[in-house]
Structure 1
């Protein structure tokens, strides 16, 4: 085995790559010295895993270099104190067929198969620390599946969006095969469980299965300068703390782009906390057309039968709750808007979203929902939403059916929400019949703006809320709309300033 030093590589293949762990750069191991071919034909995961093991055996760790080439792989196993460096022109390709590590043998009661397993992935790390994946190469999930079984929770109310009610059992079965069908298959690109001090930066990801990145119980995670164009979820941050996601482009027409969750996947309630998402761009363009620059908009519906997804969201899995979340300086294009949801007993508090721009919003620009799904162990209570502050949000081209919505529950109102300097421009077209609608509670339903149908207001609809502060809200439509701009039901302690119209 030949180990390359930084001196040997000089200004060559590692030039311009930032190493988050400088000690790893002292030893560089080229995967080709362990037999990797990178010819797009051979299976190279055995060689890459051998290089990772060799780097991990060094006292200060090391860097595993993947030079230009196409490396077909099954599961790649991350180890502590190793940086995986993807050179320009390097592609790690998920091999097709069976050959991925087996999913963990755990009881998956309160979240679906994808959230409950990590090892059946293209790249995975369990309880690793001081790990990085860097460089300008690509991870291409050609052989990954986006599908997997749903939760085994017996009370199936709220398992799927109401927009899927018309789908046949056969159609649902295609999206949710049973667990036996998943053995040997890979269903995510990068999976991290209980990791510490992990950096992901610089590379692109294409068509990455159920998740491009799933981080569960991870602390000290930095995700920076990634370009992700994938067929389901982009970046999922589940039960994490001390996380920064910045300068990422994430295109996900079929599911959420950047999402914070607090599921029961670790077998206990764990809050997602101290998270910053900033300077990111999310979208719902046709799959692959963000990376190639075409930005297509031919896809009309996501698999849930609503319009393309691609947003930033808190939820849906929310057992442990969320606190201290900052979302700032992000753009949303041809996708759903900001969604802040807790329906599984967790408390959402101290959430700030500011300086957001949205164009061609496919459902609601802002959606806050406190629900009563309670997908969790016996004794799970109704959660709470309080201390949410939204400011300097500009959204245009909004689907007329979906006003900004804030919806709590009877005796469980959403509390202490401020809307400051927000401009929303809708397409208009609502009717007098729409204005007469009184949406059902749907307390146990899966939270989604479409759950309430066409709303009776075209600008802002609030129900079961207390302590609302609205300052500088500007609403407009490009065509006439017969509904009032505002409707509120069971809302108290509302303070409105610098807002020209208020009707309830």
Structure 2
């Protein structure tokens, strides 16, 4: 009887003979899988042979495959069997990653977003590509920043030369941001590809990006475990994307992150995306995969705020359209963030069935800003038609309420929030309640940009067309701040709102609000206001 190798898909197991002519075993092409020999030439030979035959599966049996840049080709599947690990080699005189390709548009986003070839596995202008498990990609030798690719002496010299650097509008390209040639900073990097499947693999220590997909259409990412030291899954200027059943632990950066940068040289929306049945967290790197879920890491000043969230942006030149997020869990990380600050339209987004626990900043953060990091004349974008439903949050950090903020003259529009319960840590003071958050229209978007927030529940500013129903906010420790502050808000319809507040303290503060209606929110009275300069109750 012929030997067989299992190749799994989402809902079935296909079995194909090990001597199948469409199966290209990398060991046949000279791979040693001993964790010592650089196996890149053998791996790329296997890919070349499969591509020359019109396509096939490049098979990695159990073993440790030390490698630098692997070149994907069209009509190729990489299959990592159980016990197979592709290990990113440390850069040395004998092992160098492909150099980053030139990109004349690198002034509009950082080095990591602007280059693809300095990666462990990369492909460009490909169709019909798969990377399948159940094996692992371990980015052991990858770096997460330019600093790690240089000696301390080299970094000191760059820092000393900062004053003499030419100034650019957005600070890029930046010599300190750049990874030195020969070093790799991404596990999987794809540019301008179609019909891509990444399924069932595990990624450990992925570098700047575990997965960066830019301009990739018809992309399926399913059943991954990612435990990494910076971004997990970034889909940038992509169309028709399905991300499902993934667990992403990324304490130092975002877990699942739709973006729409200018890295391709033009603005392209990320659209038609579903993110479902996923978990994101910010535990210590490696402790997701080993099952310890540690929270031991802290920075020098003790203010570490694990990231690990689902976020749109910050790169947002092309915008975001027709996106759903459903059935997702956030734990020990930052909250949900929808950001458009570089001229793109963020519209037609539905978010439902979300649970969050131990959240390190705003549970819900919606930001329309005017950083406009793009070509001259880039306008302010828009954020509109967003529904958020059925969300429960427990133990959210007390400094930051849920934040919904446009900028003067540019409102967030047509927003609906329903069936939401948020339990904040509390502890806010009357002094904090008197604060007035700055606008910071042109700044990098992050809840920390506004400092401490004078409301504990929701701070809402520069909004038109807001509906909230069946929303409850409370705190675990007494808080002297109001539950809600609305400023420059128009056409507001609130129903069945429950807001805990201290003795003699207001639940709501309204500033420059028009067409306001609150109903069915006992013990608060029904309130209808045509226009009000300032009102509290």
TM-score (norm 2): 0.85
Distance 1:265 1:178 in 2: 16
Relative to 1, partners in 2 of residues 1:19 and 1:463: Cα closer, same or farther, differing over 3 Å? closer
- Offset at 1:155? 2.5
Check whether the contact 2:316–2:341 (CA below 8 A) recurs between aligned residues: yes
3-state SS, counterpart of residue 112 of structure 2: helix
Aligned pairs for 1:358-437 (under 5 A) are 358-437=356-435
Q: Residue 141 of structure 1: CA displacement?
A: 0.3
Match of 1:313 among 311, 335, 338: 311
2:101 is aligned, of 95, 100, 104, to 104
Task: Find the residue that maps to 2:107 and give its secondary structure.
Answer: coil
> 2:524 is matched with which residue?
none
Name the residue aligned to 1:155: 169
Taking the aligned partners of 2:15 and 2:336, their CA distance within structure 1 comes to 40
Distance 1:302 1:451, change over 3 A: farther
2: CA distance, partners of 1:375 / 1:238: 15
Q: How does 1:303-342 map to 2 (within 5 A)?
A: 307-342=305-340
Residue pairs, 1:220-259, within 5 angstroms? 220-259=218-257
Q: Which has the higher contact order (CA 8 A, sep 6+)?
A: 1
Secondary structure (helix, strand or coil) at the match of 1:430 reads coil
Q: What is the aligned-residue RMSD (CA, Å)?
A: 2.4
Tell me, in whole angstroms, the C-alpha distance in 2 between the residues paired with 1:106 and 1:443: 28
Q: Counterpart in 1 of 2:519?
A: none
Asked if the contact 1:153–1:375 (Cα under 8 Å) also holds between the matched residues in 2, the reply is: no
Q: How does 1:81-480 map to 2 (within 5 A)?
A: 81-98=75-92, 99-107=96-104, 108-148=106-146, 154-156=168-170, 177=176, 179=178, 181-301=179-299, 307-480=305-478
- Give me the whole-angstrom Cα distance separating, in 2, the residues matched to 1:67 and 1:19: 22
Rg larger in 1 or in 2?
A: 2
Offset, 1:148: 3.4
**Partner Cα distance (2:301, 2:230) in 1:** 10
* 2:68 alignment counterpart: 74
What is the deviation of 1:22?
Answer: 8.4
2:97 partner SS: coil
For residue 182 of structure 1, report the CA deviation from its aligned partner: 1.7
- 1:14 paired to 2:6: yes
Shift of 1:57: 1.4
Contact 1:121 1:191 in 2 (8 A): yes
Instruction: Provide, for residues 43-86 of structure 1, a one-character-per-residue CA deviation record: whole Å limited to 9, x for no partner.
Output: 00110000011111123x11010000001000000010011000
For residues 13 and 367 of structure 2, what CA distance do their matches in structure 1 show? 41
CA distance 1:350–1:92, shift in 2 (3 Å): same
Partner Cα separation in structure 2 for residue 366 and residue 460 of structure 1? 9
Going from structure 1 to structure 2, the CA distance change for 1:116 and 1:271 (only over 3 Å counts) comes to same
What are the ranges of 5 or more consecutive residues in structure 1 without an aligned counterpart? 1-6, 160-172
Once residues 303 and 387 of structure 1 are traced to their aligned partners in structure 2, the CA distance between those partners, rounded to angstroms, is: 40
SS in 1 for 2:266: coil
For the structure 1 residues 15 and 63, does the alpha-carbon distance in structure 2 shift closer, same or farther, using more than 3 Å as the test?
Answer: closer
How far apart, in 2, do the equivalents of 1:71 and 1:445 lie? Answer: 43
Q: Show structure 2 runs of 5+ residues with no match.
A: 148-161, 500-506, 510-537
**Cα distance, 1:177 vs structure 2:** 2.8
| C-alpha separation in 2, matches of 1:230 and 1:202 | 16
- What is the alpha-carbon distance in structure 2 between the residues aligned to residue 410 and residue 178 of structure 1? 33
Asked if 1:503 is matched to 2:508, the reply is yes
Deviations 1:339-380 (A, max 9, x none): 000000101000111100000000010000001101000010
Q: Give the secondary-structure state (helix, strand or coil) at the position aligned to 1:433.
A: helix
Displacement of 1:26 after TM fit?
6.1
**Are the equivalent residues in 2 in contact too, given 1:301–1:308 (CA < 8 A)?**
no
> Which whole-Å deviations, capped at 9, do the CAs of 1:408-433 have from their partners, x for residues lacking one?
01110100111100000001000000
SS of the aligned residue for 1:52 comes to helix
Is residue 2:27 matched to residue 1:32? yes
Provide the rounded CA distance (Å) in 2 between the counterparts of 1:154 and 1:119: 25
Asked whether the 8 Å contact 1:319–1:376 carries over to 2, the reply is yes
3-state SS of paired residue (1:500) = strand
C-alpha separation in 2, matches of 1:371 and 1:38:
50
2: distance between equivalents of 1:45 and 1:460?
Answer: 53
Describe the SS at the equivalent of 2:44. Answer: helix
8 Å CA contact 2:335, 2:363 repeated in 1: yes
Q: Work out the CA distance in 2 between the residues paired with 1:301 and 1:452.
A: 22
Q: C-alpha displacement at 1:154, in angstroms?
A: 1.8
Check whether the contact 2:274–2:325 (CA below 8 A) recurs between aligned residues: yes
Q: Is residue 55 from structure 1 mapped to residue 47 from structure 2 by the alignment?
A: no
In structure 1, how many angstroms separate the alpha carbons of the residues matched to 2:254 and 2:194? 24
**Length, aligned pairs only:** 478
CA distance in 1, matches of 2:357, 2:391: 11
